[in-house]
Structure formats: structure tokens, C-alpha cells
Amino acid sequence: MTTRPASEILEDAVGFADDHLIPLVDEGLGNSAYLLDLGDGRALAMDVSRDLRVPHAAAERRGLRIAFAADTHLHADFLSGAVQLGHDTGATVLASAAGRRAFAHQALVDGDEVDLDGLTLRVLATPGHTDEHLSFLLLDGSRELGVFTGGSLIVNSAARTDLLGPERTEELARAQYRSLKRLTELPDETAVWPTHGAGSFCSVPPGTERTTTIGAQKQANPLLAAPDEDTFVAQLIASPGTYPAYFDRLGEINRRGPAVLTAQPLLPALSAQQVRALMAAGGHVVDVRPAVGYAAGHIPGSLSIPLRDQFATWLGWLVPDTAPLAFVAGEDQDLSEIVWQSHKIGYERLSGHLVGGLDAWLADGNPQAATVFVSAGRAAGRPYVDVRQEAEFAAGHVPGAVHLELGGLAAAAADAPAGAVVACGHGERAMTAASLLERVGRTDVAVLDGGPADYAGAHGTRLVQGMEGTRS
């Protein structure tokens, strides 16, 4: 019997992926879902969110029906689209038996195999990121084509293990160690298709690559270079960073099963009077216009969250899901994008959008507020408040900057110096921060139009790395 060279096997696997595997990247959440063309008019969807516009479009382009919807774990950062696919296309939902999901699904345990008529999915229990986590090994006969690793082995890292509470962090990190060791027993040429990647709060992997191979990870993943389990655990849990507040809610909703949407969700039209009444009753107004538009004029007390890839993250971090929401948008902004980004993280109390925008608000005789938006050259003499994540701040910040992460700013508003210039990387998060401060009466701050490098360049200073000496 002749053994085929590993390079030839890898070439075949890469060719299969190019022809049959469609990565569906959510840049805002930093995740990848996958659509696998099974070659017979059917497809498997892996780790798709409740916003199914892209998977449905990809399937339609290829003339495919999504027949299987698999989840590697109970997602904390988005609502799963698996239940909705079961309703829309009759897809069989594949998920861990240990997850105790409360809806119809094929409950799987370690070693189970799912026949895909020509291909096979083999179930590998890989606890760590969550305790019921599965990886799915895709086989063509006995040949390993690739493995969907979810939040287990990811590019040059592994997903965090603290989402189930600090009391379980180390236990799950030790489980993650064993899971990664198990995955590295697969052939080096096996493709690795993770869910979490750069930009995901479930992980903080270096670089921007979203797929890899087992062999490449043996060479490049620093966690796999750890000499023993204790070192691995110490490295993994050293500094995972903060994560959005809504993460604490979605795992249980995914276990119960998100509500099936029977019609396209819409964003109704609201008059200025209706928006004013909503605010008086405890509702929130979210202004999704670009930062420069919000700075020029906005509804007092509204929260600035510009509509971009990261909109869902900051909505879920800063706004309660229990209050009705109204939105102020620009004429050229896509209202359906607001709806779907909200729905994919479980925000459904969407009362509507202000018809006519800020002009209609003013025409009704209501007041407006404005925020000072300054260039780096005009920010001299003001205390500097940096609202980026700790890892971003440590990588390079303005000397003497006060570090107040945006996610915790509402509780730390008193720590912002008077007359400060608030900054992030470009200005969007800083404008959100200024709107939070304004809501508690801090109208003395300005927002930097730019980031630390712009400020340093304008003032002839160098950025500082690390956290030592930082005021926070």
C-alpha cells in the first residue's frame, strides 16, 4: 500500500475547502460562521447567528438548501440562528447533549458521527471555552479534511474560559488544555476552522488570520508551546480583558432557544412627540449617525453609538435590554441594519426611528445639545481620557492619560477630569463616552477627532507602552 505525501493530502484538503467551504465573517463580533456545500444541493451551516441574511444569500447563490445547522457551543456573544434555520429550511440542528437545549435537536456526545451522504462529521468533546463545547471533524472517508473548532483551538490562541464565572475559570482552563492537546493529535495537514477570531471578545488572538492548520498551530501557537498544564493555564487566564455585559444573558437564551421570527422585523416610524414620550417613560434614544453629526447637534440625553460593524457590541454593553429603544438615523443609513444587529444580540424592544431625524425634533420645538469635536492640534491643555480596552491602551497611549474603559465609564464618570478631551482610536467610541458623560451632567468634555498617534504627532510626544504609572 502506497502512502500519499502529506503535501498532496493538504493540497486536496485546501482544494476541497476552496470549492465547498464558504466562510461568513462577522467583522463586528470578530467571528466566522461557515456554510459547507455538501455537493448534493444541500448545505451545513456552522455557528451562524440569528442574522441569517448572509447565510441565506450565500446558499441562494449556490442553489443550496441548508439541511443542517450545527453549533459548537452555547454562544455568549450572539443568538444562534440554528432554531430559525430549523423553522425556515427544515434544517436538523446538531448540538451537544450536555448543553441540555430545550428545543428539538440531534443531541450529540463524543464519538458520535453524522452522515452527510458522502462526508461525515465526527464529534469531538472539547470543553474549555464552555463546559459543553464540541468540535466537529469533517471526514471524507477516513481522511481528515478539517475541524470546526469553535472556541477551542483558534489561530495562535484559545478562547477565554471565564464566561461561566470566576469560580470556574481555572477548571475550564485546565479542560481547555486537554482539549487543545487532543486536537493537536490530528494530522498536521488538517485544516482548522475556528469560530472566534480577531476582534472577538471571546478571545484575543494576535494577528488577523481566521483559519489555520494543526501543523501551523504546533509551530506558532504560544499556548501549545507551554511546557506543562500549569504554565498553559497561567498564560490563558492572565489577562482576558473585559467583555460586554450582554454576554451574561445569551448563553441561557441560546439554551432555551431564541424566539422564531415569522416575519421580517421592522423599525416603525415615530414622531418627535412619541420619542419625547418614550424618554419620559424611561426609554432610551440611540443616535446611530456618524460621530461628527452627533457632535453638531443631538437630542439631549441620547446615546451616540454610530452604526458600523461594532454597533451590536456597544449597544449590548451600554444599553439595557429591558427598556424600549428609539433611534435617530441619517437619511442614508440602513434601518434594517439597526434591526438585525439588535436582534442578533437579543434586543427586540425596538420602538422605532424618529421620522425626519433631528430636523423633525427641532421643528417640534424641542432643544438640542452639541459636543465639542476637536482636532489633535486643538486639544492642547486638556486632560486626556483614553476609553479604549486595556490591551489597546497598553500597546501605546498618550503620556499621563487617564484610562477609563468605555464599558465601565457610566460607573466611573466622576473619575473623568474636568474639561478633559476624550479619545479612542478614531473618535466613534469617544463620542459614545462623551454622550454617557453628558447624561450625568458632564458637559465640559471634548472629543478628539482621531487617536493617540494623531495627538502625539501634533504635540511632539511619543506614545507610552504598558500600564505602569497610568492614572485610572
Summarised one tens digit per residue, pLDDT across range 244-277 is 999 999 999 999 999 999 988 999 999 999 999 9
Per residue in 16-58, pLDDT (tens digit) is 677 899 999 999 999 999 999 999 999 999 999 999 999 999 9
CB 351 within 8 A of CB 326: yes
Report the mean per-residue pLDDT for the chain.
94
Confidence class for position 205, pLDDT limits 50, 70, 90: low
> Is the pLDDT reported for residue 7 higher than 80?
no
d(CA 87, CA 69): 11
d(CA 17, CA 278): 50
Per residue in 219-229, pLDDT (tens digit) is 999 999 999 99
Q: Of these residues, 416, 424, 431, 434, which one is catalytic?
A: 424
> Is the pLDDT reported for residue 6 higher than 70?
no
Residue 53 confidence (pLDDT): 96
Confidence class for position 240, pLDDT limits 50, 70, 90: confident
CB 46 within 8 A of CB 33: yes
Share above pLDDT 70 across residues of the chain, in percent, rounded to a whole number: 95
* Angle at the Cα of 440 from the Cα atoms of 434 and 444, rounded to 5 degrees: 50
Confidence class for position 4, pLDDT limits 50, 70, 90: very low
d(CA 328, CA 330): 7
CB 69 within 8 A of CB 43: no
CB 452 within 8 A of CB 386: yes
Closest CA to 384 of 370, 357, 364, 402: 402
> Is the pLDDT reported for residue 9 higher than 70?
no
d(CA 315, CA 75): 18
d(CA 385, CA 409): 11
Q: All 3 cell numbers of residue 405?
A: 474603559
Sheet holding 42-46, edge to edge: 21-26, 31-37, 42-46, 65-70, 92-96, 106-108
d(CA 172, CA 266): 40
> Is the pLDDT reported for residue 65 higher than 50?
yes
Per residue in 405-415, pLDDT (tens digit) is 999 999 999 99
Is residue 202 among the annotated active site residues?
A: no
CB 135 within 8 A of CB 146: no
CB 88 within 8 A of CB 48: no
d(CA 149, CA 71): 10
Residue 209 confidence (pLDDT): 87
> Is the pLDDT reported for residue 211 higher than 50?
yes
- Rounded to a whole number, what is the largest CA-CA distance in the chain? 85
Q: What residues form DSSP beta bridges with 76?
A: none
Backbone conformation region of residue 100, classed left if phi is above 0, alpha if psi is from -120 to 50, else beta: left
Per residue in 353-366, pLDDT (tens digit) is 999 999 999 999 99
> Is the pLDDT reported for residue 203 higher than 50?
yes
Residue 278 confidence (pLDDT): 98
Per residue in 369-405, pLDDT (tens digit) is 999 999 999 998 899 999 999 999 999 999 999 999 9
Least confident stretch, 128-137, 181-190, 232-241: 232-241
Q: What is the pTM of this model?
A: 0.93
